[in-house]
Structure 1
Amino acid sequence: MTTTATLLIRRFDASDTDAVVALWQAAFPEYRDRTKPQRNPHLSIANKLATQPELFFVAVLGERIVGTVMGGYDGHRGWLYSLAVDESVRRHGIGSRLVTHVEAALTALGCPKLNLQVLSAKRDVRAFYEALGYRADAVVSFGKRLGALADPSAA
């Protein structure tokens, strides 16, 4: 990448779907695993478009989508999801710019705190967020699959 000056961050448009799916399949190995229906990139996009689509952003360099980020806000806390940058242009500030962009959008909505989750084994990802001022909260994250994706042994 020659410069980030030509980088544009804008709202996701439905015509971006194929490029975003390709980016996510490259960036997130779990999106390539067809045995896990909960990790369907098309479903993730459809769900985001149904809930706060104004917080789904893409980074465009020239004509190419090179990054994504999603935000969410429930009136109490914000969340950051699906930050991805094309491997060929990583370490050029695109991820940082995407995070700053979603932070600004959430701040404009009155969001007082932004949360995100990172797998504990992903040291490089943790270091990225720490460099941006994020700190690990002293909490334990719980999750439960619902509906068709529920674990029958958990009942």
Structure 2
Amino acid sequence: MTVTIRPFAPGDTEAVIGLWMQAFPEYRDTSQPHRNPRLSIENKLGTQPELFFVATRGEGNDSGEGDENGTIVGTVMAGYDGHRGWLYSLAVDPGARRLGIGTRLVQHAEAALLARGCPKLNLQVLHDKAEVLAFYASLGYRTDAVVSLGKRLEP
């Protein structure tokens, strides 16, 4: 059994949504229309789709090249605006956690951003996700002395 990381392909949509519905309980809250996984995928495919990665697990070699027949066990989205990079939607299938898949996805996204000249990477974690915060701390991420502000622009 090997894990490979490759760019997202449109045929991955249903598997990714299924994974996200497990990994992100907030996606099941229909009162939050901005947390629509299908819309998140559509938006990412419109902006830097090459920075949307999936991890697949299946038989084959460990070359890191696409194993389009494997089962999707992880995702990460990255973005770079020329000033800062961002990570979004890091998810690993609950049955595949603690195998290094999340770490490999983060490292893959970091390398892709570094190749674009990205000097700093940001991400946001919901404040009550202690396990997620500990995971990122183990990868060298630290809390910045900033306050995250947001404003919904849709009506």
TM-score with structure 1 length normalisation?
0.91
Q: How does 1:5-154 map to 2 (within 5 A)?
A: 6-62=2-58, 63-148=70-155
Deviations 1:57-113 (A, max 9, x none): 000001200000000000000000000000001011000000000000000000000
Query: RCO higher in 1 or 2 (8 Å CA, sep ≥ 6)?
Result: 2
Deviations 1:100-127 (A, max 9, x none): 0000000000000000001121111110
The percentage of aligned residue pairs carrying the same residue is 69
**1:147 to partner: Cα distance:** 2.1
Gaps spanning 5+ residues in structure 1: where?
149-155
Q: What's the Cα RMSD here?
A: 0.8
2 CA distance for matches of 1:25 and 1:119? 16
How many residue pairs end up in the alignment? Answer: 144
SS at match of 2:76: strand
TM-score with structure 2 length normalisation?
0.91
4+ residue segments displaced more than 6 Å: none
SS at match of 1:117: coil
SS at match of 1:125: helix
Query: Aligned letter for 2:120?
Result: K
Gaps spanning 5+ residues in structure 2: where?
59-69
Query: Aligned letter for 2:100?
Result: G
